[in-house]
Chain A
Amino acid sequence: MNSCPEAALSVHNLDVIFRDASGVVHALHDLTFSLPPNGFLSLIGPSGCGKSTLLRVLAGLVPPTAGEVCYNTDQPKIGMVFQKANLMPWRRVLENISLPLELKGLPKKTILDRVHEVIRQVGLEGFERAYPRDLSGGMAQRVAIGRSLIQDPDILLLDEPFGALDALTRERMGDELQHIWHAHKKTVVLVTHSIPEAVYLSDQVLALSSRPGSIVLDMPVDLPRPRTSEIRYSDSFSKLTHKLRDTLQEDNTMIT
């Protein structure tokens, strides 16, 4: 990852091609976009369009085949939240959240203070000593978000973190995410399947086409912040969701 000062994150002419036993998969094609510091970007598109792949490229888990990804720091601290909470079942809530700091070898006292701060932020007081098996889906995902926040990341990458939750919990978690984002000013990239969720949370929405994924729409969302549920019923909100839906439908694909 190279550093480039102007944007928190920028991607130039990115191509990703996988080669495996079953052949060649062209996952992403000629992606160029950038995200200002503290910006909130959503990636939306049909299943299998490479949204998750793009996120994994941003996280440094998948190397780009062509093009480049750069951050405004040399060694960006990355907080990633996966589709499933992805907790370590042998660690308690407390220890799951503290993992990133443990790996950095910080003193125990510092870690513990920070863990309790994060546990307050994500609303898990009283569950510090619970094991993941005792948590509901929403609570487990909060632990995952706490774990991604604890090292004060430069960028937060969220891969459909609320996909497995019921609709109401999902909206509430969205609000909480917005709240955390406001309070801590992070650069966020969110992969989602939900058009309203993308519009509600983001400053900028990228719509990707089906494979190979390329950008069909780079849409700014200039709704006032902080946003509350009311905004979902406003004209400007529905204009944006319509535009997004039309674009995705023109691409002749189904949104799940």
Chain B
Amino acid sequence: MKSDTGKETTPQSTGLFSRLLYLAASLLIGVLLWQAATMVFGLPAFILPGPGQVWRRFIQSLAEGQLQQHTLTTLFEVLAGLLIGGLAATSLGYLLAKSAPLEKLLSPYLVASQSLPVVAIAPLLVIWFGPGIFSKILICSLTVFFPILINTVVGLREVPNDLRDLMRTLKASSTQTLWKLEVPAALPIYMGGLRVGATLSVIGAVVGELVGSDRGLGFLINIGRGQYDTALVFVAIFTLVFLAVTLYGLVLLIERQFLSWQSWRQDVR
């Protein structure tokens, strides 16, 4: 019989500190290798700019306000796509999990849509809906749709039957069953879908912008490429990585907040 219910906070906080230390070391090594590569191979700046050049380009585009503006555009597309695609996927996922006939009816389309890479239809969407923000939001929504849909369905299917029986013997209404059983039980798997969706949404936005746009980080990459301003391309790429990692971390943070009861999962990570 286990009697101690206290959480071991000390090992975890030292774990966080050493993890940050490793992260810093790993970044430093990366930058040093990069610097060494530019020096050893003597590549021109339009092929491989050094870290110093990229840093200066970063400061410059910040000062011009260009970077912020394009980052905000991309961020807006990513979040709007996540919201719209997420809402649509969650509601449809709920209906599919509740109705087997509906799932059988729709599954050919769902499978087909999944085997079709969004990248392939992005040009089509840009042709149809123009180079503005709307087509990008649409591409993002489509990209995040499937993983969130699947995780909603799987999450709801995983709700233990014994707990459903319990709710029935307690004469719970269907609304009560939804909020007190289905939502919390499906949440761990659902949040996994949201995490994947968040990073996919960034990819969707950039693909859309690369195909055709007048704003956003993907557009910035195109500009840099066209002008042989490779440092600018690097700046845009690093900003994108930062964006994706931040979003992922944000979802992870929300997840831990809501799922603190699940500390066994943190051990796995």
A84 at the interface (CB under 8 A from B): yes
Q: Contact: A88 with B184, CB < 8 Å?
A: yes
Kindly provide the distance from the CB of B36 to the nearest chain A CB, expressed in whole angstroms.
Answer: 49
- B1-29 to A contact mask, C-beta < 8 Å, 1/0: 11001000000000000000000000000
Q: Is the Cβ of B259 less than 8 Å from the Cβ of A86?
A: no
B169 touches A80 (CB 8 A): yes
Dominant secondary structure at the B interface: helix
Which residue from chain A places its CB closest to the CB of B177 in the assembled complex? A103
- CB-CB contacts of A126-142 with B at 8 A, as 1s and 0s? 01011101111011000
**B184 and A59: CB pair below 8 A?**
no
Cα(A100)–Cα(B169), bound, Å: 10
Against B, the Cβ 8 Å flags (1 = close, 0 = not) of A2-40 are 000000000000000000000000000000000000000
B168 interface hit (Cβ, 8 Å): yes
Q: Which residues of B contact A233 (CB under 8 A)?
A: none
A89: which B residues are within 8 A, CB to CB? 261-262
Annotate B212-224 by CB proximity to A: 1 below 8 A, 0 otherwise: 0000000000000
Stretch at the interface among B76-84, B136-144, B157-165: B157-165
Which residues of chain A come closer than 8 Å to B63, judged between CB atoms? Answer: none
In the complex the two chains form, is A82's CB within 8 Å of B259's CB? no
Contact in complex: A136, B166 (CB < 8 Å) = no
Among A37-78, those with CB < 8 Å from B are 56, 59-61, 78
CB distance from B177 to the nearest CB of A (A): 9
Interface residues on A, range: 20 to 34
Q: B residues 232-269 with Cβ under 8 Å of A?
A: 259, 261-264
> Using Cβ atoms and an 8 Å threshold, which residues of chain A touch B162?
82, 84, 86
Q: Please give the distance in Å from B192's CB to the nearest CB on chain A.
A: 16
Closest beta carbon of chain A to B88's beta carbon, Å: 26
**How distant is the Cα of A129 from the Cα of B259 in the complex, in angstroms?**
15
The interface residues of chain A lying within 8 Å CB-to-CB of B166 are: 80, 82, 86
Nearest residue in B to A127 (C-beta to C-beta)?
A: B5
Contacts of B187 in A (CB 8 A): 90
Q: Which of A79, A103, A151 has the most CB of B within 10 A?
A: A103
The answer for the CA separation of A243 and B207 in the assembled complex, in Å, is: 78
CB-nearest residue of chain B to A147: B166
Please list the residues of chain A having a beta carbon within 8 angstroms of any beta carbon in chain B.
56, 59-61, 78-80, 82, 84, 86, 88-92, 99-100, 102-103, 127, 129-131, 133-136, 138-139, 151
